[in-house]
Amino acid sequence: MKETDRHLSERLEKLGKTLDTHLDEASAKEEPNKTGAMAGLSQAWKMSSEFIAAIFVGGALGWMADSWLGTKPWGMIILLMLGFAAGILNVLREAGKVAPPERRMNSGKKQD
């Protein structure tokens, strides 16, 4: 009876190690796909929220300027368009199509 228990314990340990190996291999294959998809989704949410926020900020500043200066609706129209342009610029910077301002400013300086 004791021999049977020991034999079953050895088989159980061997099975556990085999399962751990297979699970590690399976998770290693699946993780890059999930990480890549989640990174892309994260970047899309960031870009869209920055674009929408720029438009809202431009509209809010225009509304406040119109209320303070009494220039309705011109302040809101102008600042809303500027917010739209700023949102597009933010999206292009995030996508890598336009250099960030720090890199553009430093590119004109000569290096020693």
Query: DSSP letter string over 66-112?
Result: HHHH--TTHHHHHHHHHHHHHHHHHHHHHHTSS--HHHHHHHTSPP-
- Provide the mean pLDDT of the chain: 86
- pTM exceeds 0.85 for this model: no
80 is written with which tokens?
């809303």
The pLDDT value recorded for residue 1 is 63
What secondary structure letter does DSSP report for 71? -
Tens-place pLDDT, residues 57-111: 999 999 999 999 999 999 999 999 999 999 999 999 999 888 777 776 777 665 5
The pLDDT value recorded for residue 112 is 47
